[in-house]
Structure 1
Amino acid sequence: MNKKELVAGVAERAGVTNAQAAEVLDATLALISEALQKGEEVRLLGFGSFVVAERAASSGRNPSTGETIEIKASKQARFKPGKSLKDTLNA
């Protein structure tokens, strides 16, 4: 499912236009991004949580030259599914 299909599905279920559904989805995604950028966790009860995970610096190898390179530490967004979502997937 891509964003366009998601917007259409939300619009149909909520009884709103595609434009309104797209605005709401964009606003939701922006708020989740902003919270994660601040290091906050976003919990959606019954669905799951979005969290920021720290990835330590490490060394790697350039596959084309074989040269050892340093990979910088970084932050990544992670999703932890909630119990209800896990149960739905495994039903």
Structure 2
Amino acid sequence: MTKADIVNEITKKTGADKQAVLNTLEAFMDTVKESLSREENVYLRGFGSFIVKKRAQKTARNISKNTTIIIPEHNIPAFKPAKTFTLSVKK
């Protein structure tokens, strides 16, 4: 499902204007991105959590040059679904 499909589904279910739904969806995604960039988790009860995970520093190999490189510690975004969300998908 694409963003356009999501906008169409919400428009059908709510009867709201398509452009308004698109703007709302864009604003939601921007807000989540900004919060995660500030290392603030986003919790949506009944849906899930957008969280920031820390990846530790590690050593990796560049096989083509046969060299070792160090990948520094960094943050990555992740999504953890709520229990009710997980159970509804398992059905």
Partner residue, 1:83: 83
Letter paired with 2:40: E
RMSD: 1.1
Partner residue, 1:40: 40
Partner residue, 2:20: 20
Question: TM-score of the superposition, structure 2-length normalised?
Answer: 0.91
List alignment gaps of at least 5 residues for structure 2: none
Give per-residue Cα distances to partners, 1:4-48, cap 9 Å, x unaligned.
111111221121122111100001011111111121111111010
Letter paired with 1:56: A
Letter paired with 1:88: S
Alpha-carbon distance in structure 2 between the residues aligned to 1:10 and 1:63: 47
Alpha-carbon distance in structure 1 between the residues aligned to 2:52 and 2:71: 18
1:42-57 aligned at under 5 Å gives the runs 42-57=42-57
Partner residue, 1:70: 70
**Runs of 4+ with deviation above 4 angstroms:** none
SS in 2 for 1:77: strand
Question: TM-score of the superposition, structure 1-length normalised?
Answer: 0.91
List alignment gaps of at least 5 residues for structure 1: none
Q: How many residues align?
A: 91
Letter paired with 2:15: G
Query: Percent identity of the aligned residues?
Result: 32
